[in-house]
Chain A
């Protein structure tokens, strides 16, 4: 436990950029802690790690850890990261996005980064809302949920981030929560280790811009919700996962059937497959051309 709490301090730009911008009860700092412990556990040097972020509350994450850090434009983090990865193929590139950032304005970049299977680790902090702008409806806001732009309850079906990533071609897809923090450490560790495009959906809480409107006014309420409404993939049985829309928070693959996890959101590694990675394929092509092959 001590290590869990202490490791982040070795990685934070503590003398420069604190206090942070996040509200009391927010889950983004918990996700940052998991990312840092994953990097630390893998023994990566800070110089070998780049963190790229988009815009929103999660976008602010890149300011704090002492890596090479880039805070980009809204939705475009993966496209910036693609350029960095191709310029520095050995770099571990972590891309932190929010749900609106990754799936709405950045949806096109998300599916194409997955399709290329480029070696980036995408961490989507899913708090089901546009928190920084005051809690508007997002592509992962559950049907019926109240937000500042769905005041009468959202009538839009939502995305399942993990299913989108799988369908688009990602190598590795996992889901964790801010409540199950040690599990999240492990999921992010595996995502970083994976060669191709890997996605971790980190279900997080925003009591201020989301929970308040949905009968979960505190961070604790929302963490309890994560505890009570999710089930590990081991317990649920992966084959039984199916998309359902859960009023509450995350809209996610949920377990079906008659077991104890029925109707709950499934956590854990949802997909792990070996596919050719884009950067490697590109430089193989360069090598082929160097040796005189024209590729015809």
Chain B
């Protein structure tokens, strides 16, 4: 696409542009509303630049192929929506366990089950966190504009490469199909991160060893470093083990590699919170309604602020903790029955009032509902 010119892009298109800017080399996916545009566009754009696009037989296979391609050295992604995201949970766990970088774009639609395929939701928040079985860290990002869809897609790839972890771009249908003006940054102007490569000879290479930064280098298959990758708990060489003394360091390291880098991973944005006694907390398209409501409140000289979460997992505990000390009320606006609300309550620990502003009927949370909650 033409660089420097203003484009009228929808969120799904911005995701594609972001993925290409981040260096995507492989896309494997299965058709699903409201994410299909991403696959359709990449099916044209990827072969043009020598990358690989494949439509797999289902979402399980899609993420499996993505992980395989990443092991083969390509930056890889898939896109889906609720029902497909449910099917991906198994291999999402594999990517976590085997520490394989990959990006999963979930364009949330109303559910459970087939739900409302063309209607928005933010109902997959907890599924993104805990959908696959077992304890595991996860990163999930939420764009609330077309521009953010572009930039957070790049960030999703960068974080997945940097920390050897699956990253979920948790978009909602409103942002996916919203069209906004967007100027594509010139090529080379965005930061692109590649996975750390091994600098040691093959006989010294341990794909899961403890390193200073807790992220061991990852070598692609076929480069002379023959090693084993497994979804079973494994030792530092990648081989299955049931020994607690080999498992514990691994479990601790995969959490530590995320926990010690929260400042890098967790992004939030505060607006008019300095003097706020009531703070709206929101993400995705709902944050736009919250912003509108905040401005109306400010017009009436009400001290209302907004915290928008670009990262929802790991949960931005620090930002909430800080606000809990100054605010009298925290209102969590989201297009579900109160999923992230539980996390806010957990962090606030009763220091101020916490209430949810919720909707889960396939319609977005409108400013009016938030204004009513603010008694405007």
- Which of B62-70, B249-257, B270-278 sits within the interface? B62-70
Instruction: Give the CA-CA distance A235 to B54 in the complex, in Å.
Output: 42
Scan A280-292; emit 1 where CB is below 8 A from any B CB, else 0.
Answer: 0010011001100
Cβ-defined contact, B230 with A71, below 8 A:
yes
Complex interface: chain A residues within 8 A of B76 (CB): 83
B232 within 8 A of A: yes
Q: What is the interface size of chain B, counting residues whose CB is below 8 A from a CB of the partner?
A: 44
Complex interface: chain A residues within 8 A of B25 (CB): 87
Complex interface: chain A residues within 8 A of B48 (CB): 289
Scan B9-53; emit 1 where CB is below 8 A from any A CB, else 0.
Answer: 000000000000000011010000000000000000001101010
Complex interface: chain A residues within 8 A of B230 (CB): 63, 70-71
Interface residues of A, dominant DSSP: helix
- Which of B170-178, B221-229, B314-322, B326-334 sits within the interface? B221-229
Question: Which of B62, B67, B220, B229 is within 8 Å of A69, CB to CB?
Answer: B229
Instruction: Give the CA-CA distance A290 to B50 in the complex, in Å.
Output: 8
Cβ-defined contact, A83 with B64, below 8 A:
yes
Cβ-defined contact, B229 with A83, below 8 A:
no
Complex interface: chain A residues within 8 A of B228 (CB): 62-63, 69-71
Residue of A nearest to B90 (CB): A73
Complex interface: chain A residues within 8 A of B232 (CB): 71
Cβ-defined contact, B65 with A68, below 8 A:
no
Query: How far in angstroms is the closest Cβ of chain A from B98?
Result: 8
Cβ-defined contact, A289 with B47, below 8 A:
yes
Cβ-defined contact, B222 with A16, below 8 A:
no
Cβ-defined contact, A80 with B64, below 8 A:
yes
- Which of A23-31, A44-52, A184-192, A215-223 sits within the interface? A44-52
Cβ-defined contact, B226 with A71, below 8 A:
no
Complex interface: chain A residues within 8 A of B226 (CB): 46-47, 66-69
Query: How far in angstroms is the closest Cβ of chain B from A74?
Result: 8
Scan A228-268; emit 1 where CB is below 8 A from any B CB, else 0.
Answer: 00000000000000000000000000000000000000000
Q: For B48, B60, B65, B91, which residue has the most chain A Cβ atoms within 10 angstroms?
A: B65
Cβ-defined contact, B68 with A81, below 8 A:
yes
Complex interface: chain B residues within 8 A of A72 (CB): 64, 94, 231
A88 within 8 A of B: yes
Kindly identify, within residues 269 to 291 of chain B, every residue whose CB is under 8 Å from any CB belonging to chain A: none
**Residues of chain A having any CB pair with chain B under 8 Å:** 16-17, 46-48, 50, 52, 62-63, 66-73, 76, 79-88, 91, 108-109, 112, 282, 285-286, 289-290
Question: What are 28 inter-chain pairs, A to B, with CB distance below 8 A?
Answer: A17-B239, A48-B222, A50-B221, A52-B68, A63-B240, A66-B226, A67-B226, A69-B226, A70-B71, A71-B228, A79-B56, A80-B67, A82-B56, A82-B65, A83-B76, A84-B68, A85-B68, A86-B65, A86-B69, A87-B68, A87-B73, A91-B72, A91-B221, A108-B57, A282-B47, A285-B47, A286-B50, A289-B48
State the 4 A-B residue pairs at the shortest beta-carbon distance, nearest first. A83-B68, A87-B72, A79-B64, A79-B61
